[in-house]
Amino acid sequence: GAVESSRGFRHMMRERQRREKLSQSYADLYAMVSSRSKVLLRPSAPAVPHSISLVLECHVLSERVMPLQQDKNSIVQSAAVYIHELKVAKEQLQRRNDELKAKILGHDAQQQCVKVQFEVDEPSSSVDSMIGALRRLKSMNVKTRGIHSTLSGQRLTTEMNVETTIAACEVENAVEEALQEVERNQLPDSEAPFPGSRSAWPQTSHVQNVF
């Protein structure tokens, strides 16, 4: 009899501890859910009924009364809504972070960074060739991020890193046209090639994606 009584007492104590732990878990979960309006930007879930708070207080204080099943369900449902709200808030913050990064870098998601390379043999003016290419790119809303140019003998070699939403082939054609126009403007009328015809001076241009 004494052994059975001892086992029964231990079983009762373990069950009591289990219920106390479960009650505390519900209380902690409710405390987290009820404070969500202070964390999220735009809370949308309905508030947990005040009756749940009273029941939970009974758990903590008396450790005797278990909450009604519907109160437990309400807490769990509110927690599920809270998790969903957190996911939405995370997505909003991620989008905002991406927008700020794009703003800092000075370009949008549709822009691509390309490398423009061109060579002109015996240019009438290397400076005018550079200015002509830059003006043409600017007129196309192409942003120049870096320029490297060398003049070796009579050959002008230039490399530009630019940002653009225009197709690379269009950028290449525009640069070639700008270089031809510069050379035409530098030559006397009697020596200038007919507009649109093949240029009388060797020149090449190339555009490639950087990323």
Instruction: Considering only the C-alpha atoms of the chain, give the largest distance between any 2 of them, rounded to a whole number of Å.
Output: 126
Report pLDDT for 51: 44
Give the SS3 label for residue 117.
Answer: strand
Report pLDDT for 191: 47
Contact in structure between 66 and 20 (CB atoms under 8 Å): no
User: How many angstroms separate the CA atoms of 11 and 5, rounded?
Assistant: 10
User: How many angstroms separate the CA atoms of 91 and 88, rounded?
Assistant: 5
* pTM confidence score: 0.37
Contact in structure between 202 and 118 (CB atoms under 8 Å): no
93 sits in which H/E element: helix 69-105
Q: What are 89-139's pLDDT values in tens digits?
A: 999 999 888 888 777 766 555 667 778 887 888 777 778 888 888 888 888
Residue 202 pLDDT > 60: no
- All structural domains of the chain, each given as residue ranges with its CATH number in brackets, are 2-105 (no CATH), 112-209 (3.30.70.260)
The mean pLDDT value for 177-186 works out to 81
Q: What are 44-101's pLDDT values in tens digits?
A: 444 444 444 444 444 444 443 444 455 788 888 888 888 888 899 999 999 888 888 7
Exposure string for 18-45, b = 16+ CB within 10 A, e = fewer: eeeeebeebbebbeebbebeeeeeeeeb
Give the SS3 label for residue 192.
Answer: coil
